[in-house]
Chains A and B, each alone.
Chain A
Amino acid sequence: MEFKKVVPVLCAGVALGLGVVACGGSSDKDNAGTPAATATSAATEDTAAQASDVKVAFSAPAADHGWTKAVSDDAKAKAKELGLDMTVNDSATTPAEQADQIETLIQAKPDVLVVLPVDGAPLTPVAQKAMDQGIQVINIDREFSSPSAFHTVIGGDNYGIGVQAGDYFADQLKCKGNVVEIQGIAGISVTEQRTKGFADEIKKRCNGGIKIVAQQPADFAPDKGLSVMENILQKNKSIQAVYTHDDDMGEGVAAAIQNAGRDKEMWMTGAGGSKKVMDQIKKGGLWRATFLYNPAMSADAVYLATLLGSGKGLPGFAAPDIPSRITLAATTVTKDNVAQYEHLGF
């Protein structure tokens, strides 16, 4: 039916349009602060001459969430900085949709395909297809299930976030207390990793002293976080701390706690590193910490794409090719060090 064809085109058109609007507004969200960028700002001059010759295609999930929006914005800003002509798709909401978009992208035969998949496993076949056709693939964050489907993976460490959080909770609570966990979208690896890292670490450190009294997903949506937390507050009359998988979603959780007047009873943590939450952490109160999951990894991926496309290795490194795996450290941001990381807030 005609309509079926119109909708994706409309979506892509709207997404591209939004991308143009977003690009205009993100000029002050510079990546000068990221360690990778600082180290390579000297090298950028050398590569700039050839970088702009590399044809890059970029695919990421729908830029409708603070974090995914920043991913898209940061990648576009980097491309602009490098003078790259980069095709961007940032509207997919399901793996199937994204796979279709990538199919279309690779038909234009880019040199490098940079992908942040909605979820790694379902998008592995199309990534493999790109690699088979000679298109180099850089995988951001959510890893494909087969190593031959990408040249390089650069990502945050979801499991590491869980572990850092577990450590933080173990220290702050002195291994004793009731904890509530509010997860993201059930069933994707991001969620499973953050849950597992946390669970493993508190078991290792506290061996049952910290109890997870409730564990519910809230789909990265603040209104869902609100309702879910409202119900959990009814059941659990003594909560010491709340571990949430996401800053934006956490704001809904915080609203529930504040509405119930229980913000002195407990404290909470998020993940991602949003500006709003970092401000709250600085002020002190309900929000105690967040774990950096810097969306600027997409900018780094774009930079890596130009290196890969022009056959270079990392500047200052002896190896002639870029690494196959770069894992960005998860950093715990608390009141003590928030000033250091504020500029990274999205």
Chain B
Amino acid sequence: MTTTPAASPAKGKLSAGAGIKRIDYQEYALVGVIVLLLVAGGILEGSSFLSKDNLFNVLRQGSVVGVLAIGMTFVIATAGIDLSVGSMVAATGIAGGWLMEHFGAFESAPSLSFIIGALLLGVLLGAVNGAAVSYGKVVPFIATLAMLLIARGLALWISDKTPISLFDLETLRWFGTGEVLTIPSSLIVFLGVAAVGWVLLNRTPYGRYVVAVGGNPEAARIAGVKTNRILFSVYVLSGICAGIAAILLCGRLASASPVAGQLYELDAIAAVVIGGTSLAGGRATVVGTVLGVITFAIVFNLLTLMDLAVEIQQITKGGIILAAVLLQRRSN
């Protein structure tokens, strides 16, 4: 099954007939899980958890992995995977910091040069991944695993293993910590990326082609879809998302750290998978991904608020992923 504009609190539901119900079920289930978590959190932690401050805190934190997860949705829709996004966040952040430090022309607009540097390297690294997978015919797991190492190495090398301070970049810090009408700017960026992702996936020919390539690459090819170009492009999208995530993270951290982003790819993949997108490709949902991101962000927040030992946190997170995947199986 494929892209569906299905139920969510924010968007309307389009009735579409048999079969599409499967993803609706998944997304309904996630909304249910989130409501449950909110209730549990309210009971366990009261106003610490349910306060507007904390809920926005949760969403602000989730925005970084959230942006990564949108790009990941497209990659996984083609039956691929991108293990390098965490390292790419660090690398693109460092690239942004480097550009800001070294280009005199940009001295008057350090935030702008950071943003350009981060996005540029994101596109570049994504293109390398894309080329390896589509034209080099390298299995996505291996190609992006290699990039995971290369990007991390690049981050350490360019920065000489020292974080780059971004304390004075007011505009950049606004992206990480600012607000628009009390809504965190990080969240706005995340939702913006999600909206663009939704439109791309569900209402443009590009989105159809992406899902077709994942669902049945041979049939897609015979129907005239330019499969190589599609495969290449989704990794570039993922790279751009890594750059955007770096902007949000470094803005909030007020520094570009070469060791940041560790294991973010697993968080992104987990969010995409519990949201209902199939790892086997051919079926994707941006709404599901957003719900998955929110679910994990709430879990992390709640477990920290409860000051639970880290081993309990790990087990809980793993348990949620297992439960979500089993639910997916049953609904198939």
What's the Cα separation between A217 and B314 when bound, in Å? 12
CB-defined contacts of A239 to chain B, threshold 8 Å: none
Stretch of A31-39, A168-176, A251-259, A290-298 that contacts chain B: A251-259
CA distance A186 to B323 in the complex (A): 26
Cβ-neighbour of A215 out of B45, B142, B301, B307 (below 8 A): B307
Q: Quick check: which of B8-16, B222-230, B249-257 contacts chain A, the rest being far away?
A: B249-257
Label chain A's interface by main secondary structure: helix
A186 contacts across to B, CB distance below 8 A: 310-311
Instruction: Tell me if B171 counts as interface (CB < 8 A to partner A).
Output: no
Q: Determine whether B48 belongs to the interface, using a CB cutoff of 8 Å to chain A.
A: yes
Contact A231 B261 (CB under 8 A): no
Q: List the A side residues contacting B142 at CB < 8 Å.
A: 3
Write out the residue numbers on chain B whose beta carbons fall within 8 Å of the beta carbon of A234. 48-49, 51, 53-54, 57, 301, 305
User: Cβ of A7 < 8 Å from any Cβ of B?
Assistant: yes
Supposing A7-B149, A227-B300, A231-B301 touch, asked if A222 and B310 sit within 8 A by C-beta, the answer is: no
Known contacts: A18-B156, A234-B53, A235-B48. The answer to whether A228 contacts B304 by CB under 8 A is: yes
**Are the C-beta atoms of A230 and B253 separated by less than 8 Å?**
no
Look across to chain A and name the residue whose beta carbon is closest to the beta carbon of B264.
A223
Contact A221 B262 (CB under 8 A): yes
Q: Are B162 and A223 in contact (CB under 8 A)?
A: no
Contact B161 A230 (CB under 8 A): no
Query: Once the chains bind, are B253 and A252 in contact (CB under 8 Å)?
Result: yes
Asked whether A214 is an interface residue with its Cβ less than 8 Å from the other chain, the reply is yes
A276 to B177, CA, bound (A): 23
Q: Which residues does chain A contribute within 8 Å of B254, judged by CB atoms?
A: 255, 258
B262 touches A226 (CB 8 A): no
Question: A82 an interface residue at 8 Å Cβ cutoff?
Answer: no
Taking a contact as CB atoms under 8 Å apart, the answer to whether A230 and B61 are in contact is: yes
**A221/B307 in contact, CB under 8 A:** no
| Beta-carbon contact of A255 and B153 below 8 Å | no
- In the complex, whether A316 has a CB less than 8 A from a CB of chain B is no
Report the minimal beta-carbon distance from A92 to chain B, rounded to whole angstroms. 14
Residues of A106-135 contacting chain B, CB below 8 A: none
Cβ contacts A1-44/B at 8 Å (1 or 0 each): 00100010011001000100110010000000000000000000
Given that A18-B156, A64-B259, A186-B310 are contacting pairs, would A222 and B304 also be in contact in the complex, using a CB cutoff of 8 Å? no
> Is B42 part of the contact surface with A, judged by Cβ < 8 Å?
no
B135: A residues at CB distance < 8 A: none
Q: Are A65 and B177 in contact (CB under 8 A)?
A: no
Residues of A within 8 A of B244 (CB): none
Cβ–Cβ contact B252 & A259, under 8 A: yes
The answer to whether the Cβ of B121 comes within 8 Å of any Cβ in the partner chain is no
Residue on A with the closest CB to B310? A186
Q: Give the complex CA separation of A213 and B160 in angstroms.
A: 37
B258 on interface, CB distance cutoff 8 Å: yes
The reply to whether B257 and A25 form a contact with Cβ atoms under 8 Å apart is no
B157 contacts chain A at the CB level, 8 A cutoff = yes
Near A by CB (< 8 A), chain B positions 143-167 give: 149, 153, 156-157, 160-163, 165
B260–A222 contact, CB under 8 A? yes
A223 touches B260 (CB 8 A): yes
Taken together as a complex, chains A and B put the C-alpha atoms of A213 and B48 apart, in Å, by 14
**Interface membership of chain B positions 293-332, coded 1 if the CB is closer than 8 angstroms to chain A and 0 otherwise:** 0000000110011010011000000000000000000000
Beyond A18-B156, A216-B304, A234-B54, whether A63 also contacts B253 by CB under 8 A is no
Q: Are A14 and B153 in contact (CB under 8 A)?
A: yes
Contact A221/B160 with A14-B153, A230-B57, A231-B301 known, Cβ cut-off 8 Å: no
Enumerate chain B residues within 8 angstroms of A10, measured Cβ to Cβ: 149
Flag whether A326 is at the interface (Cβ < 8 A): no
Highest count of chain B CB atoms <10 Å: which of A64, A223, A252: A223
Please report the C-alpha to C-alpha distance between residue A66 and residue B260 in the assembled complex, in whole angstroms.
13
Is the C-beta of A335 less than 8 angstroms from some C-beta in chain B?
A: no
Instruction: Tell me whether A248 is interfacial, beta carbon within 8 Å.
Output: yes
Chain A residues with CB under 8 Å of B260's CB are: 221-223
Contact with B along A226-246 (1 / 0, CB 8 A): 111011101100000000000
B156 x A255 contact (CB < 8 A): no
Kindly state the separation between the CA atoms of A234 and B307 in the bound complex, as whole angstroms. Answer: 12
Query: B307: which of A14, A25, A69, A214 is its contact (CB, 8 Å)?
Result: A214
Indicate if A85 sits at the interface (CB-CB under 8 A).
Answer: no
B304 touches A223 (CB 8 A): no
Q: When the two chains form their complex, are residues B157 and A226 in contact, meaning their CB atoms are under 8 A apart? A: no
CB-contacts of B232-275 with A (<8 A) = 249, 252-255, 257-262
Q: Which residue of B is nearest A217, CB measured? A: B310
Q: Is A219 an interface residue (CB 8 A)?
A: yes
The residue of chain B having its C-beta at the shortest distance from the C-beta of A1 within the complex is: B142
A230 to B142, CA, bound (A): 35
The minimal Cβ–Cβ distance linking B184 to chain A, given in whole angstroms, is 11
One of A14, A22, A215, A231 near B300 (C-beta < 8 A): A231
A residues with CB within 8 A of B? 3, 7, 10-11, 14, 18, 21-22, 25, 63-66, 69, 186, 213-217, 219-224, 226-228, 230-232, 234-235, 248, 251-252, 255, 258-259, 276
Query: Known pairs A64-B259, A222-B259, A234-B51. 10 more at Cβ < 8 A?
Result: A18-B156, A220-B259, A222-B257, A223-B261, A227-B61, A231-B61, A231-B300, A231-B301, A231-B304, A252-B257
Q: Which 5 A-B pairs have the closest CB atoms?
A: A231-B304, A223-B260, A234-B54, A235-B48, A235-B305
Interface residues of B (CB under 8 A from A): 45, 48-49, 51, 53-54, 57, 60-61, 142, 149, 153, 156-157, 160-163, 165, 176-177, 249, 252-255, 257-262, 300-301, 304-305, 307, 310-311
A and B contact pairs by CB, cutoff 8 A, 24 listed? A7-B149, A22-B160, A66-B161, A186-B310, A213-B307, A221-B257, A222-B163, A222-B253, A222-B255, A222-B259, A223-B249, A224-B262, A227-B300, A230-B57, A231-B57, A231-B301, A231-B305, A234-B305, A235-B48, A251-B255, A255-B253, A255-B254, A258-B254, A276-B165
